Amino acid sequence: MAHLDLALSVVRGRSPALASLAARYLLAEERDSQAAFVIPDPLAHADPLVERFEGWARRSLVHGFSLADAARSVGASERTLARRLHNVLGKTPLSYFQDLRVERALHLLHTGSESADQIAARIGYANGVTLRTLLRRKLGRGVRELRSHN
């Protein structure tokens, strides 16, 4: 996988956002090397409803999660949305929403110097404690450890 690491590193030098997008489509991590603790994003699907949900979720990170709002936004019932996400991604809508928050928090940790409280506010949490708890639960690492692996 060294060739992917090299290519992503070159792209990251010009545009971290583009490198992140390329890594997602390549099913590779957005780090300098392939590490074991980043949440993999199951992108090998072409379900339009799931894609609409992902778009809504990314735009709504700061506003928080509402299954009713998500379903209305993507034009499906709550039950249909939950069933499709489970069938395609093996996750609940809330779990996937949290994964997107973790992904965004990691990007902000790696590319900036904002505090955990500032990053938490940017992804819709009231304080850094909630973010720290989520990162520990999902990745088994704290903010300092994640920053030092940058």
Mean pLDDT within 110-130:
90
pLDDT of residue 31 exceeding 70, the answer is no
pLDDT at 1: 61
pLDDT at 41: 47
pLDDT at 29: 45
Mean pLDDT within 9-18:
77
pLDDT above 90 covers what percent of the chain?
A: 36
Whether the full predicted model's pTM is greater than 0.75, yes or no, is no
Residue 76 tokens read as 């499906």
Alpha helices in the chain (DSSP H): 2-14, 16-26, 48-60, 67-74, 78-89, 93-111, 116-122, 128-139, 143-148
pLDDT of residue 32 exceeding 50, the answer is no
Residue 29 tokens read as 């991590």
Mean pLDDT within 106-131:
90
In which residue ranges of the chain is CATH 1.10.10.60 found? 46-150
Tens digits of per-residue pLDDT, 56-96?
999 999 999 999 999 999 999 999 999 999 998 889 999 99
3-state DSSP call for residue 18?
helix
Q: Does domain 46-150 have CATH number 1.10.10.60?
A: yes
